[in-house]
Amino acid sequence: MAALGGDGLRLLSVSRPERQPESAALGGPGPGLCCWVSVFSCLSLACSYVGSLYVWKSELPRDHPAVIKRRFTSVLVVSSLSPLCVLLWRELTGIQPGTSLLTLMGFRLEGIFPAALLPLLLTMILFLGPLMQLSMDCPCDLADGLKVVLAPRSWARCLTDMRWLRNQVIAPLTEELVFRACMLPMLAPCTGLGPAVFTCPLFFGVAHFHHIFEQLRFRQSSVGSIFLSAAFQFSYTAVFGAYTAFLFIRTGHLIGPVLCHSFCNYMGFPAVCAALEHPQRRPLLAGYALGVGLFLLLLQPLTDPKLYGSLPLCVLLERAGDSEAPLCP
């Protein structure tokens, strides 16, 4: 971010003098100032989201139900107000998206069914190895497993489990809303869609550093282990954030990233070391390799924008003066 206002972060329309961007046409701020406004807005959102977790003073650990309930309240309030930040950004920059705010943030009906199913299918293909590992280690067979999954009592227990609600519902919904649906529309006119895919996850990754303070506070491990764990978490959350940002741009929907986020929270990071020592190591490692290979092969076809209708972020960039944005059809 040291190059803000320089050649690295600029309104894409600067390279197309034959068509002025909306902000210039409306007498808005210049490209450099627009980038500063965009980045400051994203930083404000990230700080507000993380700060909302600590407005409640408590000596209890983060997984205690009382702590989780309080954080639900504050996070939902901040997430509900986050679209106001996009509205303020629009007024300050003078950029007019050409679509409604909800549509720009991925709340739309056009193409919603493929947007819900195909990204989740693609993510499950990537996790083919871990899914095989989970199946091999499960004591019950497939029929019994399906009965448990589909049983109303199982879902009732989940809905009363605060940790399950946090990991599978509240965290995926609020994080994707704030860090993808709100941030990407503000970053894209400044950086372009390609760089935005990798810039947006930095805010997402840094936002997870607050776990360091909780681990240090409750002495959950040595200082070195805590910081090493935090660096690792930042790395994979940034990579995951880039993936869901890609999905959001290519589908124009929020539901796909939310479902993929929930699925990945359930699966956790792939237990590669355990797979290497598994009694059925060979077929398991073959499943890992096959999943990655199929994922790379199907990534573009299953996220083809033609499957999802018009893309709001592409419309936004066209109005900003860039009709040849990458990732757009």
Active site residues: 175, 208
Q: Give the span between the Cα atoms of 95 and 23, in whole angstroms.
A: 5
Q: Pseudo-torsion of CA 122, 125, 127, 130, nearest 10°?
A: 160
Q: Give the span between the Cα atoms of 194 and 202, in whole angstroms.
A: 14
Task: Using alpha carbons, list the distances in angstroms from residue 158 to 105, 145, 148, 153.
Answer: 29, 16, 12, 9
Torsion sign, CA atoms 151, 156, 161, 162: positive
Q: What is the DSSP letter of 97?
A: -
Count the Cβ atoms, other than its own, within 10 Å of residue 298: 15
Residue 276: closest CA among 289, 265, 263, 260 = 289
Q: Which two tokens stand for residue 131?
A: 């899914």
Q: Which two tokens stand for residue 42?
A: 């994203």
Task: Using alpha carbons, list the distances in angstroms from residue 77 to 49, 52, 56, 234, 300.
Answer: 9, 9, 14, 25, 36
CB 95 within 8 A of CB 189: yes
